[in-house]
Structure 1
Amino acid sequence: MQFAGIRRREACGYRITGNGEKMIMYKVRERHHRLPREYYRGQITVIFTACILKRRPFFLSNKIVDPDVEMFARVLVKNKCIAPVYCFMPEHLHVMIQGQADDSDAWQAMVDFKQRSGYWFWVNCCITRWQKDFYDHIVRKSEDLGAQVRYILENPVRRGLVKHWWEYPFLGAIGCDLGEIIDSLVCF
């Protein structure tokens, strides 16, 4: 039977709740929003944004951010990538990942980082988790790379956390020098 305005969902099984009741489980339909994986491979630049579950502030101290940067560095090397700029905001991460070889994999680098850091969160500090997915944007050759770098660096300023981006402690670069990146921009 179908009620007005309510569509029937397909049940995929049952689960027993904590109090012993039977609960119907439904299939969750997910829309694939990503480009094919091959678009993330090679010498390309991708901007990623990953959020902490329920956007709870988490990246608030070096005790949390420093191990994440170290994990990210290892994952980037494994996937033959660098991060010209990253910014750990209190409840999310912005990062630009660039492939350095034909077999680089920016998407896999991000997936590996989320998996390793999520495990580290669980073992070392708390029950904080990443949201299931992340946002990504493949930077086209026609786009202004400097504008993308500025956007990431200015996040803490727009949020009112600092007056100038260089005052924010949780941003930097991995595999290259952020100062050189900034110097190469025509106008910051």
Structure 2
Amino acid sequence: MRNPLHSHRLRRGRYSESGRAYLITAVVYQRRRIFSDWQVGRLLVAELRRAHDQRWVDSIAWVVMPDHLHWLVQLEAMPMEGLMQAVKSRSTLSINRALNRKGAFWQTGYHDRAIRDGEDLKPFARYIIANPLRAGLLEKIGDYPLWDACWL
């Protein structure tokens, strides 16, 4: 298990490239299962859609799990660090406001994996979308409300 005191190391050597696809994972502080409440999850979804609508990214696929987010994007107008800062900050504000709470919402840092040029993105999207099935949250992905993919 990664020591949260060393989460700043996630940023070392990170380089984001406009036009490149990335698989991003962000985890809720203390792995609280706050997105088990789908209405709260929809607040995060609104921020993902905002990032897409503002053309910061081309959002390819995402799933909001009870305690984390998986997001497959192609970076456009905003570098990774700015994107994640904006999405995490805005979602923290809206979620904390909705739940009448204060304080940290996301764990520090995030994990990203650059996808090689020419690599097929559909297997990554399928992996992301199948997360609720693998976690045993349901039997059919169509029953899970917090996911999307551009091919649908």
Give me the TM-score of the superposition, normalised by structure 2: 0.82
Unaligned runs of 5+ in 1: 1-27, 180-188
1:174-185 equivalences in 2 (<5 Å): 177-179=150-152
Q: Identify which of structures 1 and 2 has the higher relative contact order when contacts are C-alpha pairs closer than 8 Å and 6+ apart.
A: 2
Q: Which residue number in structure 2 is paired with residue 44 of structure 1?
A: 20
What is the CA–CA distance in structure 1 between the aligned matches of 2:6 and 2:140, rounded to whole Å? 43
What is the CA–CA distance in structure 1 between the aligned matches of 2:78 and 2:32, rounded to whole Å? 32
Deviation of the 1:138 alpha carbon: 0.8
Deviation of the 1:159 alpha carbon: 0.5
Deviation of the 1:53 alpha carbon: 1.0
Offset from partner CA, 1:7-34 (integer Å, 9 cap, x none): xxxxxxxxxxxxxxxxxxxxx7766344
Match of 2:62 among 86, 104, 115: 86
**CA pair 164-107 structure 1, distance change in 2 beyond 3 A:** farther
Deviation of the 1:165 alpha carbon: 2.1
Q: Is the 8 A contact 2:43 2:95 kept in 1?
A: no
Which has the larger helix fraction?
2
Unaligned runs of 5+ in 2: none
Deviation of the 1:41 alpha carbon: 2.9
Q: Does 1:95 align with 2:100?
A: no
Q: Does 1:72 align with 2:48?
A: yes
What is the CA–CA distance in structure 2 between the aligned matches of 1:30 and 1:105, rounded to whole Å? 19
What is the CA–CA distance in structure 1 between the aligned matches of 2:28 and 2:63, rounded to whole Å? 14
Q: Which amino acid aligns with 1:45?
A: A
What is the CA–CA distance in structure 1 between the aligned matches of 2:146 and 2:73, rounded to whole Å? 17
Aligned-residue sequence identity (percent) comes to 26
What is the CA–CA distance in structure 2 between the aligned matches of 1:63 and 1:50, rounded to whole Å? 19
Offset from partner CA, 1:121-147 (integer Å, 9 cap, x none): 222213461111111111112533221
**CA pair 111-124 structure 1, distance change in 2 beyond 3 A:** same
Q: Is the 8 A contact 1:50 1:92 kept in 2?
A: yes
Offset from partner CA, 1:148-188 (integer Å, 9 cap, x none): 11110110011011112222111114xxx341xxxxxxxxx
Q: Is the 8 A contact 1:52 1:130 kept in 2?
A: yes
Could you say what the CA RMSD is over the residues aligned between the two structures, in angstroms? 2.3
- List 4+ stretches of structure 1 deviating above 6 A: none
Count of matched residue pairs = 146
Larger radius of gyration: 1
Q: Which residue number in structure 1 is paired with residue 132 of structure 2?
A: 156
Offset from partner CA, 1:50-93 (integer Å, 9 cap, x none): 11111111112332122221222223344531211110000101
What is the CA–CA distance in structure 2 between the aligned matches of 1:65 and 1:31, rounded to whole Å? 26
